[in-house]
Structure 1
Amino acid sequence: MPQWIEIVIRTLAAMAVLFILTKVLGKRQISELSLFEYITGISIGNIAAYVSLDLDNLWYLGIVSLLVWVSVSVGIEYWTVKNRKVRDLVDGKGRVLIKDGKLLKEQLKKERLTLDELLEQLRSKDAYRVADVEFAVMESSGELNVLMKKQYQPITPDMLGWKMAEEKPPHTLVMDGIVLEKELELSGVTRDWLRHKMSQQKLKLEDVLLAQLDSDGITLHIQTADGRSFPQKKADKPADRIRQMTAQLEDELKRLEQAARNEADRQAYRSALDRLQTGMKGK
């Protein structure tokens, strides 16, 4: 057999074996790696290259070596799941770098992290002042996780006491002009309904690049292959925006009135709410 054909066959075989063994190792091999997994990844790559290109008659020993490496790696991963001490040794532990807005210099030294590197990672988390950070920890994966102080955290509906409707993921009904039958069944709509919605926009199935049904089960968002979108978004009228903002303000005043700790504060919120409602009726 010519050598180039042998190399092609052995390369394809090495790729197949490497793919199977990587599946066995799991998704962490392509995401966040521990130190041991990093070493394993490099080693099996080198061994696979040896199997692919080395022309001696003992190339099959490379496959044996791959199996040994993967077996040991899987065994250690199983051991780390069962034993915390082994997990701390193999995967490492997170280290607190900032606490209550103060840098922990000794911890930075242990991580061998410069202030420039720390500030760069903080900026990637939208934290530009160390004093604004409540807590920052360097995870064993090397990622920096940051908790901002309360006053610097984004306002959420829960902080305002608003009750939000449950949000459900949209259903992708059409992709590249093909109806996804499983998603169509899960969404609770029929092909006839989908066909009717597209006919309203004078569209054919083959024109649709992507069609997603909102969680309300009514609104169908369509994007065509030529860049058009349906339904076309309409700009809110000023009156509609004013009504929406006023309704939110009324809800907030009612919440503050109920949460007031004394009668004077409760009356102040009630008076503000009455003036707001009277002013809106006057318009």
Structure 2
Amino acid sequence: MPDWVIVIGKSLLLITILFFLTKWLGKKQLSQLNIFEYISGIVLGGIVAIHTIEPDSNILNGLVAMAVWFLVPYAVEYISLKSKSFRNFTEGKSTVFIQDGKIMEDNLKKEGYSTDDLLEKLRDNNVFLASDVEFAVLEPSGTLSVLPKKENQPLTAKDLGLKLAPQKEPQAVIMDGKVLLEPLANLSLNTNWLETELDKMSVSIENVFLAQADNDGQLTVDLYDDKIAVAEPTEKPLLLATMKKCQADLELFSLATKNEKAKQMYEKNSKKLQSAIDLVQFHLK
């Protein structure tokens, strides 16, 4: 058998095995490598390369070597999940760089970080003044987690005393011109609703490259033809405008009528509607 046929056969076999080994090790290895995972990734790649380009190499030996280098990090990962001390030994522990707004110079030296390295890591977190940081810690993965001082943190709804309704993630309901039924069902919607919304936009399903819907029932679409302009969702602004118009009408009616009971009724309902507007306008803007 020609050498090039053997190389192709070995390549296909080993790359398939390496693919499944990587999947079995889990997604964590693709994002955060500890020492064993880093070493095993290099060695597994080397084993595959050696046994791919050497037609005379024993493929069984290569498979045994791959199995060993798969089982070792797999066992380490399993034991790490069960033992905190073993996990600290294999993966390392976090190192505090800034605490209570003060830079820990000894910890920087311990990890081999210069002041420039620290400032670079802070800039990666959109922080340009070290004095703006309350706490910063170097994770075992090498990333720097930063907690800005309270006055430098962005305002949240909780800070403003606002209670927000739970929100589901937007779902892709049309992709490449095809309706996706499961995402629609996740939002308690159906194809009739989808067709109605597309009719409002004068758009057919076949012309839609991507359409997403949120839990408020608002649909946004991107068409194959980028020259066609599609109107933005208007349900929320229209609802807010309608509520404001009704409130204004009630005030007008209370001023126009001479009937005292009717005046009191209009004023009472006008205040109720204004209270409702104050509660929901943040969500409808």
Q: Output the TM-score relative to the length of structure 1.
A: 0.79
Deviation digits for residues 258-281 of structure 1 (CA, Å, limit 9, x no counterpart): xxxxxxxxxxxxxxxxxxxxxxxx
> Is the contact between residue 176 and residue 209 of structure 1 (CA under 8 Å) also seen in structure 2?
yes
Residue 156 of structure 1 is matched in structure 2 by 156
Matched, 1:224 2:223: yes
Q: What's the CA shift for 1:111?
A: 0.4
Corresponding letter in the other structure for 1:190: N
* SS of corresponding position for 2:62: helix
Corresponding letter in the other structure for 1:50: I
Residue 45 of structure 2 is matched in structure 1 by 45
> Is the contact between residue 221 and residue 229 of structure 1 (CA under 8 Å) also seen in structure 2?
no
Q: Alpha carbon RMSD of aligned pairs, Å?
A: 1.8
* SS of corresponding position for 2:93: coil
Please say which of residues 107-116 and 55-64 is displaced more in the overlay: 55-64
Residue 267 of structure 1 is matched in structure 2 by none
> Is the contact between residue 222 and residue 229 of structure 1 (CA under 8 Å) also seen in structure 2?
no
**Distance of 1:43 and 1:57 partners within structure 2:** 17
Residue 265 of structure 1 is matched in structure 2 by none
**Distance of 1:210 and 1:114 partners within structure 2:** 47
Residue 93 of structure 1 is matched in structure 2 by 93
Residue 71 of structure 1 is matched in structure 2 by 71
Residue 131 of structure 2 is matched in structure 1 by 131
Q: What's the CA shift for 1:166?
A: 2.1
Q: What's the CA shift for 1:203?
A: 1.6
Corresponding letter in the other structure for 2:206: E
Q: What's the CA shift for 1:188?
A: 2.3
**Distance of 1:43 and 1:164 partners within structure 2:** 51
Write out aligned runs for 1:11-50 (5 A).
11-50=11-50
Please say which of residues 111-120 and 186-195 is displaced more in the overlay: 186-195
Matched, 1:193 2:197: no
Shift in alpha-carbon separation, 1:229–1:165, aligned structure 2, 3 A: farther
**Distance of 1:118 and 1:75 partners within structure 2:** 34
Q: What's the CA shift for 1:198?
A: 1.6
Write out aligned runs for 1:106-125 (5 A).
106-125=106-125
* SS of corresponding position for 1:155: coil
* SS of corresponding position for 2:98: strand
**Distance of 1:199 and 1:178 partners within structure 2:** 16
Residue 205 of structure 1 is matched in structure 2 by 205
Residue 165 of structure 2 is matched in structure 1 by 165
Shift in alpha-carbon separation, 1:229–1:41, aligned structure 2, 3 A: farther
Deviation digits for residues 149-170 of structure 1 (CA, Å, limit 9, x no counterpart): 1111111111121222222212
**Distance of 1:193 and 1:220 partners within structure 2:** 10
Write out aligned runs for 1:139-154 (5 A).
139-154=139-154
Q: What's the CA shift for 1:233?
A: 6.6
* SS of corresponding position for 1:230: coil
> Is the contact between residue 51 and residue 63 of structure 1 (CA under 8 Å) also seen in structure 2?
no
Corresponding letter in the other structure for 1:120: E
Shift in alpha-carbon separation, 1:55–1:22, aligned structure 2, 3 A: same
**Distance of 1:148 and 1:186 partners within structure 2:** 37
Q: What's the CA shift for 1:229?
A: 5.4
Residue 278 of structure 1 is matched in structure 2 by none
* SS of corresponding position for 1:45: helix
Shift in alpha-carbon separation, 1:12–1:203, aligned structure 2, 3 A: same
* SS of corresponding position for 2:159: coil
Unaligned residue ranges in structure 1 (runs of 5+): 244-283
